[in-house]
Structure 1
């Protein structure tokens, strides 16, 4: 029988106790923090009127990221490209995500944060490209 191999980070996540319940706790805690944030809250509130579908989509996204569940199928870049954000917004997003992960995920927090950093970097570079910018190694996305 042919067995599909999981990447090491998935095996590490499973070993650290990552499951769908943990992902949902993290997503709900994190977006609660986002909604209360004075900088990021208004950006999200201007675009999301019904939060429950968004939270469910983010649970599916993180399930696919951390466990390779295949629950998420979508294209995040087109949704993020027009956002009025810069590098400082990504730093704030990561700070809130890291704090929520530390509160909700115990030993698995660092695994979530490592993936979040890669996702944030990818989105920041993608948004820069959508604005016609090419960022150097130490350059950050300027705020619009």
Structure 2
């Protein structure tokens, strides 16, 4: 029986499974391979990010967009990221927080792609 996302243990479950899929994916795996040399700190950062985003737990520090801006990513990469993310959530959880995490992932992907498109159209190379 599936439960809802209730805390850090559940976050670790979906983050670990999701990034395991990412590393094996033919489209986005190579992008991550170029950007992430050590997965342990990346996963720790993702636990903190989602714990802050979903449960307002302090501890996350960083600028996620700034990390993604220099990457050669397009809409198809975000689309695949969302497919894998939603699949991971749906395979493991059910409930209000599971729906909320998927909504937040959708919003984040749309925001990142919008900002990247703007930067590229206006030939902006740095992020303040």
TM-score (norm: length of structure 2): 0.86
Higher Cα radius of gyration: 1
More divergent stretch after superposition (105-114 vs 94-103) = 105-114
Contact 1:66 1:112 survives alignment (8 Å): yes
Residue 128 (1) aligns with residue 117 (2) = yes
Note the C-alpha offset of 1:127: 1.3
Structure 2 equivalent of residue 92 of structure 1? 80
Cα deviation code 1:97-136 (max 9, x no counterpart): 0000112223242221011101111111121122135xxx
Structure 1 residues 35 and 17, CA gap change in structure 2 (3 angstroms): closer
- Large movers: runs of 4+ above 3 Å: none
Residue 50 (1) aligns with residue 50 (2) = no
Structure 1 equivalent of residue 15 of structure 2? 27
| CA distance in 1 between partners of 2:5 and 2:60 (Å) | 20
Contact 1:22 1:104 survives alignment (8 Å): no
| CA distance in 2 between partners of 1:116 and 1:28 (Å) | 16
Unaligned runs of 5+ in 1: 1-15, 134-144
1:81 to 69, 79, 88: 69
- CA RMSD for the aligned pairs? 1.3
Structure 1 equivalent of residue 90 of structure 2? 102
Q: Which structure is higher in RCO with an 8 Å CA cutoff and minimum separation 6? A: 2
Unaligned runs of 5+ in 2: 123-128
TM-score (norm: length of structure 1): 0.77
Note the C-alpha offset of 1:22: 0.4
